[in-house]
């Protein structure tokens, strides 16, 4: 299969690695210094937990032309970058697109591609369960097992599911289909935003995060407030056990997070203020439509904005 991975950060790099191992013709879209690194050194990934480094050669492009045809396009971008990519995807003739990452506007994005696409577009949405950072021309990737993507369509089953399964048939990468992917992504955002506000407030100094017990309490309470906002607006809490544990056992969750932040691996989590601002602004609209009070989320937001 001829597959494009649009984006060469941690998420895109690991997905490209998997697809290369699956025997496909993989192209990676990258720009600037990252494109030069890939062309010169190849796709270099340090698999942190597996304690190994892999190097693979991939074709690199810097621009997606309207006539470039791919069987599948995986867009591995930050939420704040999706808007700039949509017109480029709409002009391209390829039909099967998976938008992967934190995504608060799934229906609007699908609608845009449907209305403006030069060819009929079939769209799925996903989230890849990997983390890490880029440094010195290589990617440090944190993953469990062989990688996993939670994936789904908005209007029933993904119409190109057979293509997706063909893409990963020769790999051990896991596709976990979810029939409420929009709600899943919104629930995930409720976890991501408060946590990253505290991390960014302390400049990724995890020891300071652990010692800041007041904000750690606000972090967990803010997650609970976020779930209550979603529930009040009619979004399913999925997985339901996640919201239940956080709201019923906040002290346990707080200590579990502290233990995680004390581990060296936590220092490899990558996050950007630009994406966090965009995600938080999306949630602000939901808070405005809800009658649920969010004092802890508001306090974290105020402190982080002042700090930044």
Q: Give 13's pLDDT tier (boundaries 50, 70, 90).
A: very high
CA dist., res. 95 & res. 16, Å (int): 19
Q: pLDDT digits over 276-286, tens only?
A: 899 999 999 99
Kindly state the tokens that stand for 246. 């956080």
- Is residue 14 within 8 A of residue 130, CB to CB? The reply is yes
Q: pLDDT digits over 179-217, tens only?
A: 999 999 999 999 999 999 999 999 889 999 999 999 999
Q: pLDDT digits over 244-261, tens only?
A: 999 999 999 999 999 999
Share of the chain above pLDDT 90, in %: 88
CA dist., res. 308 & res. 252, Å (int): 29
Domain at 1-178: CATH code: 3.40.50.720
| Residue of 126, 83, 105, 154 lying closest to 285 (CA atoms) | 105
Does residue 268 register a pLDDT over 80?
no
Q: Give 272's pLDDT tier (boundaries 50, 70, 90).
A: confident
Does residue 308 register a pLDDT over 70?
no
- Is residue 128 within 8 A of residue 148, CB to CB? The reply is yes
Q: So what's the pLDDT on residue 118?
A: 85
DSSP alpha helix (H) spans, the chain:
10-21, 32-41, 82-91, 106-116, 161-167, 181-201, 206-211, 213-232, 240-248, 250-262, 273-289, 295-307
Q: So what's the pLDDT on residue 270?
A: 72
Q: Where are the CATH 3.40.50.720 domain residues in the chain?
A: 1-178
Q: So what's the pLDDT on residue 265?
A: 83
- Is residue 225 within 8 A of residue 297, CB to CB? The reply is yes
Sign of the Cα torsion 138, 140, 146, 148 reads negative
What does the longest C-alpha to C-alpha distance in the chain come to?
55
Q: pLDDT digits over 52-103, tens only?
A: 999 999 999 999 999 999 999 999 999 999 999 999 999 999 999 999 999 9
Q: So what's the pLDDT on residue 115?
A: 95
Does residue 137 register a pLDDT over 90?
no
Q: pLDDT digits over 139-172, tens only?
A: 999 998 999 999 999 999 999 999 999 999 999 9
- Mean pLDDT, the chain, integer: 94
Does residue 38 register a pLDDT over 80?
yes
Q: So what's the pLDDT on residue 28?
A: 98
């Amino acid at each position: 299969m001829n597959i494009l991975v649009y984006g060469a950060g941690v998420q895109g790099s690991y997905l490209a690695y998997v697809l290369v191992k699956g025997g496909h013709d993989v192209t990676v879209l990258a720009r600037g210094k990252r494109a030069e690194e890939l062309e010169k050194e190849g796709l270099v990934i340090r698999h942190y937990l597996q304690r190994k480094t892999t190097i693979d050669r991939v074709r690199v492009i810097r621009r997606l032309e309207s006539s470039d045809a791919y069987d599948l396009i995986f867009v591995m971008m930050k939420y704040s970058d999706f808007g700039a990519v949509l017109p480029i995807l709409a002009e391209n003739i390829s039909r099967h697109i998976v938008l992967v990452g934190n995504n608060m506007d799934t229906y609007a994005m699908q609608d845009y591609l449907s209305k403006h696409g030069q060819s009929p577009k079939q769209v799925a949405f996903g989230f890849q369960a990997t983390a890490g950072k880029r440094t010195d021309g290589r990617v440090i990737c944190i993953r469990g097992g062989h990688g996993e993507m939670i994936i789904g369509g908005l209007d029933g089953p993904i119409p190109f599911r057979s293509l997706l399964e063909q893409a990963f048939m020769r790999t051990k990468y896991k596709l976990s289909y979810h029939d409420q992917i929009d709600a899943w992504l919104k629930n995930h955002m409720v976890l991501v935003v408060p946590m990253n506000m505290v991390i960014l407030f302390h400049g990724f100094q995890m020891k300071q995060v652990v010692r800041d017990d007041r904000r750690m309490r606000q972090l967990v309470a803010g997650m609970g407030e976020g779930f209550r906002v979603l529930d009040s607006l009619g979004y399913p809490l999925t997985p339901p056990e996640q919201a239940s544990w956080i709201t019923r056992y906040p002290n346990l969750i707080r200590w579990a997070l502290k233990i995680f932040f004390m581990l060296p691996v936590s220092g490899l989590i990558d996050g950007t203020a630009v994406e966090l601002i965009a995600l938080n602004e999306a949630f602000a609209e939901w808070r405005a439509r809800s009658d649920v009070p969010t004092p802890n989320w508001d306090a974290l937001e105020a402190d982080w904005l002042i700090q930044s």
